[in-house]
Structure 1
Amino acid sequence: MNVVLTLDSKMLDKLFLKFDKYKKASKNQYIVFYAKLPKATISVYTSGKVVFQGEDAERIAQQFGHAASSRPQQQENIIGTDEVGNGSYFGPLVVVASFVNAEDVLLLKKLGVADSKKVTDEKIYQIAPQLIENITHVPLIVEPTKYNQVIDSGYNAVSIKVALHNQAIYLLEKRVSESIEYIIVDAFTTEKNYQKYLLAEQNRVNGKVTLLPKAEDQFLAVACSSIIARYLFLESLKALSLEAGYTLPSGAGAASDQVAAKLIRQNGRESLKKYAKLHFANTKKAIHIAQI
C-alpha cells in the first residue's frame, strides 16, 4: 500500500527523529531521507512530499496526519450485513448480519460464496444451511403483517432498513467475543440518510459502520449475509404461498399484480396485508385489476 503526504517542517523534524535509527542511504538524488522499517519504507523528497510504502504504510502515516481508510483491505474479522425482500411485493423483509473470522473465510471460499443475486436458488439451498450452522450471524425477518404495521407507524422503506441493519449489528456485537475490526453495510441509502434515521433508534452499535456500494461483491461477510437472507426469504415465501393457496412470485412485476388481484377477489383487500407490502404500487394496480 502507498500513502503520500506533504508535511511541514515541524512534522518532518518529528519524522526524522522518530525513524532515524531506520535511516538508509538512497541513490535517488531527490530523496533527502530514506528509512527502511520491517514492514514499510519512508521516502522524503526535496519537495517535502513523503511517500510511505508497504504493509504498515497506512498505520505509520496516521501518526503524521493521514486519515485511515474506512475501507478494509482484508476479509476476516468483519461484520457484514445485507437485506433481501425490499424489492419484492410479496414476502418478508429479511436483514442478516454475519461475523467472519479467518477460519470462516476459508469455508466461505470453499463453498463459493458470492452475492445471492448472482447465485442460483438451487445453490443457495445447498450452501445456506451450512452457513447458518457454521457462521455467527443474526437474522431479522419482518413478515408482511408486521412490516405493514411498522410502515403505518411512521417508518418508510429506507428507515425500516436502517433500523433493522442497526439492530442486527447491535445484537451480533453482543455475541462475538473476537475483535471486530470493520462493520460493512451494503449501501442502500446515503451516509447522510442512514445517520438521520439512526437518530430515532434506541440501540447503538459500538463499532463504526461503513456503507459501501456493491459490498456483497467485495466482502465475504456481506455475501454470506446475502445468501442467508435470500434463503430465509425464499423459505418464508414458500410458507406464505401455501397459506395463500397461490404461488406468490418474488419481485414486484406484473405477475405480482395478477396474483394480488386473485387474492382480493377471493378474500378481499384486507387479506393482502398478510402476504404483501401494501405501500408498493402493486396494491393499487391489483385493486384495479380485481375490479375489471
Structure 2
Amino acid sequence: MVGKNPRADSTTPEPPSKRARVDSGGTIFTDLGMPMATHLAKSYTYVSKLPESQPTDTYVLGVDEAGRGPVLGPMVYAVCFCKESHYNELSSVGFADSKQLTEEKRTSLFAKLQTLQYSGWAIRCLAPAEISNSMLQTAKYNLNALAHDATIGLIQEVIARGIKVTKVFVDTVGPPASYQRKLQQVFPDIEITVAKKADALYPIVSAASICAKVPRDEHLARWVFEEGLEVPRNYGSGYPGDPNTVAWLKDNLDAVFGYPDIIRFSWATCTKLLADHAAPVAWLADMPANQLTFRQPRRSRFLHRPLQLSSTL
C-alpha cells in the first residue's frame, strides 16, 4: 500500500566526497553517480540505472522540482520510481521534503538512493538561458507550461524504458485539480494524485525532491562562467527576496551586457534592475509602426550587368 511519510530514520550513510571523474568523452561524473556539466548552456535529461524488473513488477512514481523561484541557475524537475512491492522499504529510508533537510542530509540520502535495487530516478534540467528564451519569446511559454511539459516528458521517458508505472504522485504546479486532469488525459491508465505539499506527504515525492535539489545545488557549486569573468559566488539562495542575492545582482550588473548567463533574464527582479541601471535600449519590435521608416538599399552597380565572356584563353 502507498502511504504517507513515517518519521524520518536517523541512520543514513555519511555524505560522499565532492570529487569528480571525467570519462573519455570529457563528461564530468560526480561521486553522486550523475553527469555534471560545469557550464549549463542547454537543457538536458538524465535517467539513472534502472532496477531489474519482472513483467509483473509495477511501480510508484513521484514528481517534484527544485529551483522554480530563484532568479539564477537551472530549474530541475525530477522523478523517482520504486517497485510497489518495496514501497514500505523506501518509506523507512528517511526521505523528507528536501527544503527541510540540511545539505549534508540531502547528499547522504541521494547517495543512499543510488544503492537501492528496487528504485531509479530521472531529471530534466532546464538551463537558465532556455528558461529566459521561453518566457521572453513572442509566443509566451510560461513557467507552468515549462513545468508541465518537463513532468510529462519525464514520465514518458521512464515508461518508454519499460518501467510499468501504475501510480503517480505529483507536488502541484498551479491548481491541483486542473493539473491532475491534464496529466490524467495524457496518462489515462495511471492512477494520478496531484496534491499541495506532496513532498511532505508521500515518500516517493520526497525522494524526487532530493533528486531535484541535489543536482541543482551541484550545478551552482560547479558553475564555470563562460563569459571569462571572475565572478564572486556569494549570490545567496538565488531567491529574489534574499538580500545576498539582491546585493549580488546589483554588484555584478554590466551596463551593456547585463549579467552572465547563469541569470534568468525573464525574472521581474532582473528586468527591473536592468531597466533602472543598464544602458537604455530601443527595440525595433517594440516601436509603433508609424515611427518606423524603411529605406530602399542603394542598388549595386554590379547588379544586372551583362556577363562578358573572355576569349583570351
Q: What is the match of residue 27 of structure 2?
A: none
Report what 2:128 is aligned to.
144
Out of 182, 190, 196, the position equivalent to 1:213 is 196
Equivalence for 1:157: 143
Corresponding residue for residue 285 of structure 2: none
* Equivalent of 2:174 in 172, 186, 189: 189
- Residues 90 and 249, structure 1, Cα contact 8 Å, conserved in 2: no
Find the counterpart in structure 2 of residue 249 from structure 1.
236
The answer (yes or no) to whether the contact 1:128–1:227 under 8 Å persists in 2 is yes
Q: 1:290 to 1:257 in 2, by over 3 A?
A: farther
SS at match of 2:61: strand
Residue matched to 1:87: 69
Secondary structure of 2:121's aligned partner:
strand
Q: State the Cα RMSD in Å.
A: 3.1
Matched letter for residue 167 of structure 2: Y
Conserved in 1, the CA contact under 8 Å of 2:59 and 2:163?
no
DSSP-derived class of the 1:122 partner: helix
Q: Distance in 2 between matches of 1:252 and 1:133?
A: 37
Per the normalisation by structure 2, the TM-score is: 0.60
After TM superposition, the structure 1 = structure 2 runs for residues 119-134 of structure 1, keeping only pairs within 5 Å, are 119-132=101-114, 134=116
Partners of 1:157 and 1:73 in 2: CA distance = 30
Q: Confirm whether residue 174 of structure 1 aligns to residue 160 of structure 2.
A: yes
Q: Counterpart of 1:137 in structure 2: which amino acid?
A: W
Cα distance in 1 between the residues matched to 2:159 and 2:4: 19
Give the Cα–Cα distance (whole angstroms) in 1 for the partners of residues 183 and 82 of structure 2.
25
Q: CA deviation at 1:255?
A: 2.3
Q: After the TM superposition, which segments of 4 or more aligned residues of structure 1 sit over 4 Å from their partners?
A: 72-76, 195-199, 241-244, 288-291
Compared CA separation, residues 192 and 117, structure 1 to 2 (3 A): same
How many residues of Structure 1 are paired with residues of Structure 2 in the alignment? 215
SS at match of 1:265: coil
Question: Which of 270, 283, 287 in structure 1 is aligned with 2:270?
Answer: 283
Q: Secondary structure at the match of 1:181?
A: strand
Match for residue 222 of structure 1 among 167, 181, 205: 205
- Tell me how far apart the structure 1 counterparts of residues 168 and 183 of structure 2 sit (CA, whole Å): 15
Matches within 5 A, 1:100-119: 100-101=82-83, 102-103=85-86, 105-110=88-93, 112-119=94-101
For residue 240 of structure 2, what is the amino acid of its counterpart? A
Give the secondary structure class of the aligned counterpart of 2:252. helix
SS at the partner of 1:277? coil
Are 1:256 and 1:282, in contact at CA under 8 Å, matched by a contact in 2? Answer: no
Identity of aligned residues (%): 20
Gaps of 5+ in 2: 6-57, 279-313
Q: Secondary structure at the match of 2:270?
A: helix
CA distance 1:194–1:152, change in 2 (3 Å): farther
In structure 1, list runs of 5 or more residues that go unmatched. Answer: 1-54, 56-71
CA distance in 2 between counterparts of 1:259 and 1:170 reads 39
Give the superposition deviation at 1:156.
0.5
SS of 1:238 mapped into structure 2: helix
- 2:75 and 2:219 mapped to 1: Cα distance? 10
Q: CA deviation at 1:109?
A: 1.8
Q: What letter corresponds to residue 209 of structure 1 in structure 2?
A: I
What is the distance in 2 between the residues matched to 1:232 and 1:267? 32
Residue aligned with 1:194, SS: helix
1:202-233 CA deviation, whole Å, 9 max, x = no partner? x9445243211111111111000001111011
C-alpha deviation, 1:77, in angstroms = 3.5
The alpha-carbon distance between structure 1 residues 220 and 207, as it changes in their structure 2 partners (threshold 3 A), is same
Aligned amino acid, residue 166 of structure 1: I
Change (3 A) 1:104 1:211: closer
Query: Contact (CA 8 Å) 2:61, 2:168: kept in 1 or not?
Result: yes
1:191 Cα deviation after fit? 4.1
Q: Report the Cα distance in structure 2 between the residues aligned to 1:83 and 1:121, rounded to whole angstroms.
A: 16
- Between the aligned partners of 2:114 and 2:249, the Cα distance in structure 1 is 32
Equivalent residue number for residue 23 of structure 2:
none
Contact 1:262 1:290 (C-alpha < 8 Å) held by counterparts: no
